[in-house]
Amino acid sequence: MKTVKNFSKAFPACAIASAVIIVFGLVGIFTRGINFGIDFVPGLVEEVRIAPAAIELTYTGSASVSVETSNTALELVISGTGAENETKTFTFGQNPTVQDMANAINGIDGVAAKVTGSASADSYGIYTDSASTSRLSYDVPVRLYVADVANTASVEEVRTALASQNVAVKELGDVANRSFQIRAKIEKGDDSSVETLQKGITGSLKAAFGDTNIAIVKTDFVGSSFSSSNAAKSVVLALVTLLAIWLYATIRFHWDFAVGAIIALVHDCLIMFAFISWSQVEFSTTTFAAVLTIFGYSINATVVILDRVRENIRLVETKNFKDILDTAISGTLSRSVITTVTTLFASIALLVFTSGSIRDFAQVLTVGLISGCYSSMFISSGFIAVARRNWQPGEWAYHVKPHNK
């Protein structure tokens, strides 16, 4: 028989500790705010890389030549007058250095590839500036960039360069493949166009790091109607989820058990938002998915304990309902801890080995897993202990006969 630990003694202390953390989180929400992603507020998101151009491409022929890049190769698409409408492919494997790539491109009639950076740099992952034209011409060169650890800027330098633009800057990737996510919100009543906003950001970066050292990897824009719709749908989805869980718990157990389960879920939600606020993790649809994931995880952990409580009402000889709760938590303790720890292995792996929105998801998920395990044992059970402080054997026994004495 498992040893019954007196978990109920910790209920008041846990309630106070949780209240302090939640108040701390609310202070963070009102003072620091939530770092809403572009899914929830209108604005512009750009991913930018800062490094000197490695190759400059020009073309003097009569055809139309444009450059495209992928994860494995660089392609020149040739079409139009005097051309055979063909695509020339230059793989990084066959052209491992910038100089090798330039030599191969120079073999195309009319195309000139001038090395402007380190000739021995690795050609793998060559990229272009998505904000510039990809069509080659004689007077305006198309620039190709490669990752350059020695010359890339730091996130602090980028933030300093954009200090006047009222934007948020986040570093993405490792040192060898560093890029920066720049997010500019469009506040309600702001008449600034996307083009004006983009030009201001690009102009500040070029002023700080040089005209030829900036490459826009991608640009996204979300309008106010779309972001407002996303926010409203997310709130409705969360409320409907809580309502469905409350109905399920009420039907399966009892009203106080159901309320205890909902309090635990709201507790977990507030703990996660406290973390989101103070860490300034971007709250996007991916992060919201982590919150909903914890709803499912936490209610599952709570239901396991509540099911054991319902069973112990008939089995445990006591006049104090806290003894039933202690027995239930003790009986499910190993299951709760092992389930949480094994799930944490996956979330921590995502936290360590990923970046961007997936890493944000993993951070919130990790906090939620710990909070969910804790709230199932102490917050939900603590409320039930208060609700049943005057409980007598045989009360609310779910239509089963009281234990015969």
Residue-level pLDDT at 167: 80
d(CA 10, CA 30): 30
Pairing of strands 43-50, 179-185: antiparallel
Tokens of 152: 């890339």
Residue-level pLDDT at 392: 67
Alpha helices in 280-379 (DSSP H): 285-315, 321-353, 356-374
Q: What is the mean pLDDT of each run of 10 residues along the chain (405 residues)?
A: 76 92 91 78 82 89 88 89 81 92 92 89 86 86 79 81 82 78 70 73 88 84 65 82 86 85 91 90 84 86 86 76 84 87 90 80 91 89 84 54 42
Residue whose token pair is 């490669």: 146
Name the residue among 133, 361, 405, 374 with its Cα closest to residue 271.
Answer: 374
Residue-level pLDDT at 395: 53
- How distant, in Å, are the alpha carbons of 16, 234, 278, 354, 361 from that of 289? 29, 10, 19, 17, 8
Find the helix or strand (DSSP H, E) in which 112 lies. strand 111-115
Residue-level pLDDT at 402: 42
Residue-level pLDDT at 390: 76
- Widest Cα–Cα separation across the chain: 101
Residue-level pLDDT at 404: 44
Are 292 and 237 a contacting pair, CB within 8 Å?
yes
Residue-level pLDDT at 403: 42
Residue whose token pair is 């996204």: 220
Q: How many residues does the chain have?
A: 405
- How distant, in Å, are the alpha carbons of 25, 276, 320, 330 from that of 29? 6, 9, 40, 36
